[in-house]
Amino acid sequence: ERKQTIEDKTSKIHRQVTNKPEEYQGIKIQPDYTLGVKNAVGKIIDPETLSAGEKEALAFAFITGLNLASGTTAPLIMDTPFGHLDTKHQKNLIKSLPEIPSQVIVLATDRDFPSHLLGIVQPHIAGTLNIRRLGATKDASVVEEKE
């Protein structure tokens, strides 16, 4: 069943990106299609009780799980995805990016994607672009390829 496939793929990604893999068994899609997190003893935890970083890791895992279960390689676009993540979540999420079998586009500032973390995925990066505003009085930006 498709729902089980999504749960399995989401659970696998979640275990890779969470900072507490020993505390979670996996992800459960509830009958009302909300997500639940299975703790180490199998109890379903309401995601509302998770920290902001844990919620972002769960959201990433679910979106990636949906993408993987779809059978279609749709691009994944992430806008400043590391804002609420602690260092371990950041590193785990970044390490999981090359395993996604589709194009991944990350929109991030240098602060959001520091060089020591960028180095983890550098061999997998096809290109880097710099988006720069033209000024306070102009409603425009310029996109430049970074070398």
Instruction: Tell me which amino acid residue 70 is.
Output: S
CATH of the domain at 70: 3.40.50.300
Each residue's pLDDT, cut to its tens digit, for the chain (147 residues) gives 899 999 999 999 999 999 999 999 999 999 998 999 999 999 999 999 999 999 999 999 999 999 999 988 889 999 988 878 898 999 999 999 998 989 999 998 877 887 888 889 999 999 988 888 887 777 878 888 887
The residue segments making up the domain with residue 15 are 2-146
Residue 116 CA: distances (Å) to CA of 46, 111, 131: 34, 11, 21
Report the domain count for the chain.
1
